[in-house]
Amino acid sequence: MDSPHTPASVRVPFGVALRRLRERAGLTQERLAELAGLSANAVSSLERGTRRRPYPHTRDALYRALGITDAEREGLEDGITPHASRLPVPPWPVLGRDTEIDTVAGLLDGARVVTLVGPGGVGKTRLALAVAERVAVAAVFVPLAPLRDPADVLVAIATELGLRELGSRPIGEVLAANLRGRALLLVLDNAEHLTEAAPDLARLLANAPAVTALVTSRAPLRIRGEHVHPVPALAPSAAAELFTDRARQAGNGGPADSGVVAAICARLDHLPLAIELAAARTRLLPPARLLDRLGAPLSTVVGGPRDAPERQRTLRRAVAWSHDLLDPPARELLARLSVFTGGWTLDAATAVTGAGEEAVLDGHQVLLDNSLITADGDRFGMLETIRAFAEEQLDGEATVDRHAGYYAALAARAGLWEGDQASRLDVLTAEQDNLRAALRRLAASDRVDELVEACFGMWFFWVVRGGFPPEVSSPDSARPAFVAGWAQLPRGGYAAAVGHFTEAARLARATGDDVVLAWTLPSWAHAEIYRGNPAAAVPLLDEARSFGLPHVDSCVAIGDAHVLIARDRLAEADHLVGACLPEVEARGADWPLAVLLGIQGRLAAVLGDPGRGDRLLARSVRIFARLGDTWGMVHQLTHVADAAAMRADHRRAALLYGAVDAIAEQTGARIFPQWQDLSDRCQAELLTTLGTETYRTLRQEGRRLTPTEVVTLATDPGAG
């Protein structure tokens, strides 16, 4: 058995080590499963490697059944695949930072917050990523540069963690509940303009004692427990190595005089970003000529505060110098691209900058060649230091207005009920920062009509992926009231939702907006059913059916099924859903399909057909996971947990109830009273069977499962 210090490349995987120990004990998979209280499928999955992260209670049960020593247990634990960190992969390895990496990693051993401070371009982000890779089993990178409001910092953390801003509870409480007991490193990048959020971060860390934060900023956060680490410029030898490496990548592979390279780096104060910008120019200018060109511009560039720190002014001069070497079209393009937040596509750049397609394409190549923008797949970005400089060069507000118009139109025509809903939702998710900026601009410039249409196009996005629509006042349109109703319904604000939908229906009738009326009626019906008034839903559903809109009809079918369930006509509901499922699936929208699959799966389990129920519920869970819909997942996971409890799959049921707890706390979602009554009975019986201590332990463990682990547990009956 390997020791804990065996290199990862030669560690024995958990499944292989488990099989060896089982065979040594003379046990079959079936016998080991019986001794451990697991299914034979669970043991088989572990040994085959299809499950690489067994839950702690599963490992403990196996260790007891095998009677292994502490050393053997360590070897097994050593072979478990660790949680993957969600960190961006830098395009190049970090150079010249070994000492800093060791120092900061050591600080994180004892400090809850370590803030890397220094001027823009000194390499704070690259250092933070290298440290995170070194020290963290689980780390999450949170880019803060696109944010403008300190109140959005906790929302950004929640978004990167995969949480949804749906619950009625404050986002800080939701985060604390999710992170409590989790060992996690939060890498918060570019925090200098959001220091007013520091108290929120301090409260979060106080409520999540296993979480630490590694922050990059030009200034300290000044919160209790913070350890500030100034990031120095590169040592001369590391700076020269960086210049030579980047020049080679730029296409200048010839030898360069070491004295010239050293002089260039010294002229740039050994700042990594300034060096990279200069090295990108060696494709056109040999280092000796580059050094000559660096002389005058650095002393004559205008702009920026004269009392700024020298290195900050040096970086500004380096950016300005690189900017001034561009031709006028490229300079203008760079300035106009500064209006984007969180990145952009070529199509967006063409529309927003007002340049022609070929000019935009050629300009992007020039800017990439000069390291002024970055590329990641089909999206482009700009470092905040460069973006701030480029924004200063922007003339007038026409580009900002085009940006708002472009993203308003993108939202209005998102077509979230057409074709692949998950892919269309992903498009809006990628553009969230730009969409927020656009909606703010529309509101500030009194472009109410565009704002109304954009919000109406995004209502389903906010339901599924989280977030709140802006408040819009438009007395002649039913659409803001409709959107406001859906802002309340997933959060459990049923009475408020009914009020908004009532107003939306009134305005839609008065203005002849049949599209909004058709969508409002089943939405209103759902709110009535959820608040225990199915009789009021029936005429609303009947009227909605009269419009003959396919996706509205899918939502009507959901309402019809819920009315039957509320009236305890379960067999009729099962028949109705089975009859309409093929047509709903043919319409191509996954969300109503997932809802109906979940309803029928729950009905099948209650009506005594657990096998059919498992298949239907598993498919529903997979669709909701692909859509990223945590509201839907609360319903389906509760159904799966209840079904597991009903057939005495006790451990799996308790884990799933814990997973539901974690998601429900952030969504505020509730399931039907009829289903909740059954679920309460299932949970009470499970508590009696397992005992309070075991039940509580498993439920707490379920709260800590990752989204991927939850989906696996919910869709594989042998995974518990």
pLDDT for 237-246, tens place per residue?
A: 999 999 998 8
Residue 37 confidence class, pLDDT cut points 50, 70, 90: confident
83: pLDDT strictly greater than 50: no
What number of residues does the chain have?
720
Q: What is the DSSP string of 317-381?
A: HHHHHHHHTS-HHHHHHHHHHTT-SS-B-HHHHHHHH---HHHHHHHHHHHHHTTSSEEETTEEE
pLDDT for 668-713, tens place per residue?
A: 666 766 788 888 899 999 999 999 999 999 999 998 888 889 999 9
Q: Residue-wise over 575-602: b if at least 16 C-beta within 10 A, else e?
A: ebbeebbeebeeeebbbbbbbbbbbbbb
CA distances from 595 to 92, 513, 558, 562 (A): 45, 27, 7, 11
56: pLDDT strictly greater than 70: no
pLDDT (0 to 100) of residue 57: 66
Mean pLDDT is highest, among 122-136, 190-204, 517-531, for: 517-531
pLDDT (0 to 100) of residue 298: 37
Residue 433: in which H helix or E strand, if any?
helix 432-444
Average pLDDT estimate for 314-319: 76
pLDDT (0 to 100) of residue 638: 94
Which range is least confidently modeled, 189-193, 196-200, 291-295? 291-295
pLDDT (0 to 100) of residue 79: 56
Helices (H), 138-197: 153-160, 171-179
| Secondary structure string (H, E, C) spanning 593-627 | HHHHHHHHHHHHHHCCCHHHHHHHHHHHHHHHHHH
Residue 380 confidence class, pLDDT cut points 50, 70, 90: very high
Pairing mode of beta strands 374-376, 226-230: unpaired
Q: How far, rounded to the nearest angstrom, does the alpha carbon of residue 685 sit from its chain's CA centroid?
A: 36
pLDDT for 464-503, tens place per residue?
A: 988 888 888 888 899 999 999 999 888 788 999 999 999 9
Within 26-87, strands assigned E span none
Q: Which of residues 3 and 422 earns the better pLDDT score?
A: 422
pLDDT for 123-177, tens place per residue?
A: 999 999 989 888 766 789 999 988 888 988 998 998 888 776 555 678 888 888 8
Which range is least confidently modeled, 44-53, 118-127, 616-625? 44-53
**Separation of alpha carbons 214 and 227, rounded Å:** 10
**Separation of alpha carbons 326 and 341, rounded Å:** 23
Half-sphere exposure at residue 516, Cβ-oriented, CA atoms within 13 angstroms = 31
Nearest to 574, CA basis, from 605, 546, 553: 605
Q: What is the pTM of this model?
A: 0.75
CA distances from 44 to 54, 62, 718 (A): 12, 13, 10
Residue 295 confidence class, pLDDT cut points 50, 70, 90: low
Q: Which of residues 317 and 707 earns the better pLDDT score?
A: 707
* Residue 312 and residue 274 in contact, taking contact as beta carbons nearer than 8 Å: no
Pairing mode of beta strands 374-376, 379-381: antiparallel
**Separation of alpha carbons 406 and 146, rounded Å:** 18
301: pLDDT strictly greater than 60: no
pLDDT for 431-448, tens place per residue?
A: 999 999 999 999 999 999
